Amino acid sequence: MNIVDSSGWLAYFADAPGAKHFESPLKDIDNLLVPAITIYEVFKVVLRESNEHTALQAIAAMFKGKTVDLTPQLAVDAAKMSLQYHIPMADSIILATAAAYDAVIWTQDADFKDLPGIRFYPNKL
């Protein structure tokens, strides 16, 4: 299973230089998990930088994968991981979701850089 972090989705939607790294997991819909927090993050950024129509189109693409809601157990696991790895809330929710589903996280977010189960691709502007 794969999870593309918000940074990967945003790079892909913007056709940014690092977008190619995320094509494979994003096209493998049967193995794509989409944590609800990534929907929030992507919608917020696209809405801020564009408009609601574009933001809705972006998340419609995200709904092609299997969406994963934040359950109480994932919340507890995320809180523990946030403290253990010193990462922000959203990142810890994504990490806990990946652990629960034995998924690989694909990202440009440096907060994930040295964590296990991560495919990290630095953002090259």
* pLDDT, tens digit (0-9, with 9 covering 90-100), for 105-114: 999 999 999 9
Q: Is residue 38 assigned to a domain?
A: yes
**Residue 125 resides in a domain:** no
The whole-model pTM stands at 0.95
Q: How many CA atoms lie within 13 A of 40 on its CB side?
A: 11
Burial (CB < 10 A; 0-12, 13-18, 19+), residue 21, is buried
Does any domain span residue 88? Answer: yes
Measured CA to CA, the distance from residue 30 to residue 7 in angstroms comes to 21
Domain that holds residue 55: 2-15+22-119
Show the tokens assigned to 114.
């040295």
Q: Tell me, yes or no, whether 11 lies in a domain.
A: yes
pLDDT tens-digit profile of 29-82? Answer: 999 999 999 999 999 999 999 999 999 999 999 999 999 999 999 999 999 999
- Whether 124 is in a domain gets the answer no
Q: What would the two tokens of residue 5 be?
A: 């972090």
Can you tell me the distance from the alpha carbon of 87 to that of 84, in angstroms, rounded to the nearest whole number?
A: 8
CATH code (residue 44): 3.40.50.1010
Residue 100 included in any domain = yes
Q: Is 4 helix (H, G, I), strand (E, B) or coil?
A: strand
Asked if residues 118 and 104 have their Cβ atoms less than 8 Å apart, the reply is yes
Query: Which residue shows structure tokens 């109480």?
Result: 72
Q: Is pLDDT above 90 for 124?
A: no
Q: Is residue 103 part of a domain?
A: yes
Residue 54 domain flag: yes
The domain tally of the chain equals 1
